Amino acid sequence: MERDIRVQPENVLIKERLAKLKELKSLKIDPYPYRYSKTHDAKQIQNAFAGLEPQEHTNETVSIAGRMMTKRDMGKASFANVADQTGSIQIYAKEDILKDKYKLFKRLDLGDFIGVKGHVFKTKTGEVSVEVKELTILAKSLRPLPEKYHGLKDPELIYRQRYAHLATDKEARDILIIRSKIISEVRKILEEKGFVEVETPMLQPIYGGANARPFMTHHNILHFDMYLKISPELYLKRLLVGGFEKVFEIGKNFRNEGIDHKHNPEFTMLEAYQAYADYNDMMELTEELYERVALKIFDTTKFKLGNNIIDVKRPWRRISMIDAIKKHTNIGDITKLSDDEIKDIMRNYNIKFEGDYIRGLAIAAIFEELVEDKLIQPTFITDHPRETSPLCKVHRKNPLFIERFEPFIAGMEVGNAYSELNDPIEQKTLLMGQAQQLRAGSLEAHPMDEDFIQAIEMGMPPTGGLGLGIDRMVMLFTGKESIRDVIAFPTMKPVMSENEPKKPYKP
């Protein structure tokens, strides 16, 4: 039986594996060949030969490749499991078949990549397996995998050594595969509706499109500062000015903010803009995207997240921010309260926000603190206070509000949408006010973008705009409560030795 190698220190195991590597090379065996021809993957074999009877052998020859995850040495015969992207398949190696190559098999370590060619059969216990006729080492593993029965359990190591976690946790790999399918389906739906996929600059001379603090860098040759985009919004609107009517982008945004279970400084967003539409059309698009992706990939609209069963079936509930505060708190109609009364509420609940008191922002902060976590089933929170965005049209029925909505699911905001402001005079006035807040010390106000103003001065059609967080969509559909579980490589603080000085940024 296989010995428990985990009792040995890692450096001892690495030393042993380096010795085996040297031995392979001395035998003129290339431990890192250029390629290998495989004909099947594990899942194909499992499905194709599931109907075999126990101990039934076939003449079907298959060629597989993958990482060896388990090994059971039984003297002149051995079993092992080889894992590829689709799953795992058992292999059976016998000395009288492999001859000298059986010694190579005995020298293999868990984690080695191997290629196997042989016949398919089913063991007496009913497991589809491959009897090894030819064996090829494809990559010698020098560093041992995490302990085979439990894998990585330390959350810090799970995300920092993501490669080790993925190598030993099929569920973690499956989540990333599901993520890819979700993005693909979102793209197909939008393309079906006539949207054109575009790309906007990652590096921008002026950031904008969201209330967020940017990451800054410096262009050495051109000698000026640039920013990683916090949103593609202002560039996508330029395309509408240029004659496009339906555009979208699925890409990375960067916001210099904190990290928690819902936030990562680098995240993936869908932003879509449709000419001649408004925020009501964007609500319908949001519902449709969620429902169709759910049905296409999972064949259901119901998903478990935490202790809740979420149903994304259309239609979703729609309620204004003011009515949501009235419904979910004992505040009543907050629009009838004085500023002093609103300030008292904020003090009582220890609600803070950056900068001077602004009534609309205070109302939004109260909503965020007291209501958001109560919005479990999909809900559109509509008609936000006018002060919450400088890029949105004033509500056509009440000038105190704007035609904006945020969809919430399981107490989490998953997007943002507007009837987009296309009046260049009003837009310039609002951005000038934002620039003034920026100069006064606000870290999340919009800077003035004169080129954007010039663009919409040429004329931008009535437009509905939508931003949806892809990471949060994947969280819902996979039942994960941390954004780090659905990102291949979440942002981590670098590991530094105690004596290593911090390196200052130098442009």
At the fourth CATH level, the homologous superfamily of domain 168-329+371-486 is Bira Bifunctional Protein; Domain 2 (3.30.930.10)
pLDDT at 158 over 90: no
pLDDT at 505 (0 to 100):
52
pLDDT tens-place string over residues 48-99: 999 999 999 999 999 999 999 999 988 899 999 999 999 999 999 999 999 9
- Integer Cα distance of 74 and 93 in angstroms: 10
pLDDT at 231 (0 to 100):
95
pLDDT at 504 (0 to 100):
56
HSE of 193, CA atoms in CB hemisphere, 13 A: 22
pLDDT at 4 over 50: no
Q: Residues 480, 484, 489, CA angle at the centre, nearest 5°?
A: 135
Query: Per the structure block, which two tokens stand in for 143?
Result: 């560093």
Closest CA to 135 of 121, 149, 117: 117
Average pLDDT over residues 25-45: 96
- Integer Cα distance of 26 and 49 in angstroms: 39
- Integer Cα distance of 88 and 42 in angstroms: 6
Three-state DSSP class for residue 371:
coil
- Integer Cα distance of 179 and 186 in angstroms: 11
- Integer Cα distance of 38 and 84 in angstroms: 11
> Across-strand partners of 419?
464
pTM for the whole structure: 0.91
pLDDT at 315 (0 to 100):
97
Structural contact between residues 493 and 308, judged by C-beta atoms closer than 8 angstroms: no
- Options 1.50.10.100, 3.30.70.3040, 2.40.50.140, 2.60.120.920; CATH for 7-145 is 2.40.50.140
pLDDT at 468 (0 to 100):
98
Percentage of the residues of the chain whose pLDDT score is greater than 90: 82
Closest CA to 184 of 501, 486, 470: 470
Per the omega criterion (within 30 degrees of 0), is the bond before 315 cis? yes
- Integer Cα distance of 153 and 312 in angstroms: 32
Structural contact between residues 435 and 445, judged by C-beta atoms closer than 8 angstroms: yes
- Integer Cα distance of 303 and 309 in angstroms: 5
Work out the pLDDT band at 500, boundaries 50, 70, 90. Answer: low
Q: What is the DSSP letter of 462?
A: -
Work out the pLDDT band at 447, boundaries 50, 70, 90. Answer: confident
- Integer Cα distance of 469 and 186 in angstroms: 12
pLDDT at 498 (0 to 100):
56
What b/e readout covers 238-254, taking b as 16+ CB neighbours within 10 angstroms? bbbbeebbbbbbbbebb
Three-state DSSP class for residue 338:
coil
- Count of helices and strands (H, E) across the chain: 15, 19
Q: What is the DSSP letter of 373?
A: G
- Integer Cα distance of 276 and 58 in angstroms: 63
Structural contact between residues 454 and 468, judged by C-beta atoms closer than 8 angstroms: no
Of 57-66, 206-215, 363-372, 492-501, least confident by mean pLDDT is: 492-501
Average confidence score pLDDT of the chain: 92
Altogether, the residues listed in the chain come to a count of 507
Alpha-carbon Rg for the chain, nearest whole angstrom, is: 29
Tell me the C-alpha to C-alpha distance, in Å, between residue 261 and each of 88, 148, 231, 483, 485.
31, 27, 21, 6, 9
Please, what sign has the CA dihedral across residues 256, 260, 266, 267?
Answer: negative
pLDDT at 405 (0 to 100):
98
pLDDT tens-place string over residues 195-239: 999 999 999 999 988 888 999 999 999 999 999 999 999 999 999
Q: What is the DSSP letter of 50?
A: T
Closest CA to 248 of 285, 294, 199, 296: 199
pLDDT tens-place string over residues 244-292: 999 999 999 999 998 999 999 999 999 999 999 999 999 999 999 999 9
Host H or E run for residue 420: none
The domain spans of the chain are 7-145, 168-329+371-486
